[in-house]
Structure 1
């Protein structure tokens, strides 16, 4: 699945850095990002789905913010973003009862 990382300044006028990437068959990806982005807001986002029945962009699920500052206190250079993806056109049959159960708690 194609995706990209965009970093923009805090004013959000326009992206300063755009790096394209792609997931493997498991949805895993690695995108090397050069430079310091301490003052930038960076997000990883999906761009298009190869599945016709699962290609609807959701404003809450199509992107995740990721901290790419070197001076962040994290010992590793690896960063992990929250899950991102698309919505299916037709929900799975088991989703309705599961959602009702979760919302009842």
Structure 2
């Protein structure tokens, strides 16, 4: 895997009320020089589904956000956590084509034969 730090990438935290599918809370942030970000949140969002979505960079080859199947984050004080800090899974971006340096690994793992059906 090739890793690059993306400074200035915008992220959006959205909390949605499940009963009527309306956005109830939104906060924006952007990554620092090391590609890290922090989103301060106000209020308790126990009854909402909250997700962080990254907006792909406009420059470079990595313009497509990687799918993240565990993109939800719990934002409530009522879960027994010792701290109010929550950690989210890393957000990533990918290219449309396989990097030539990765071809052997992609073939060895059989990823070149996978299809999104």
Q: TM-score w.r.t. structure 2 length?
A: 0.74
Aligned with residue 95 of structure 1, among 94, 98, 102: 102
Distance 2:36 2:91 in 1: 11
Q: TM-score w.r.t. structure 1 length?
A: 0.82
Give the unaligned 5+ runs of structure 2: 1-8, 112-117
| 2:92 is the alignment partner of 1:85 | yes
- TM superposition shift of 1:87: 1.6
- TM superposition shift of 1:57: 3.3
Q: Is 2:57–2:63's contact at 8 Å kept on the other side of the alignment?
A: yes
Q: Is 1:8–1:15's contact at 8 Å kept on the other side of the alignment?
A: yes
Q: Could you say which residue in structure 2 is the equivalent of 1:68?
A: 75
Taking only aligned residues, the RMSD between alpha carbons, in angstroms, comes to 2.3
Q: Could you say which residue in structure 1 is the equivalent of 2:57?
A: 49
In the TM superposition, structure 1's runs of 4+ consecutive aligned residues that sit over 3 Å from their partners are 99-104
Give the unaligned 5+ runs of structure 1: none
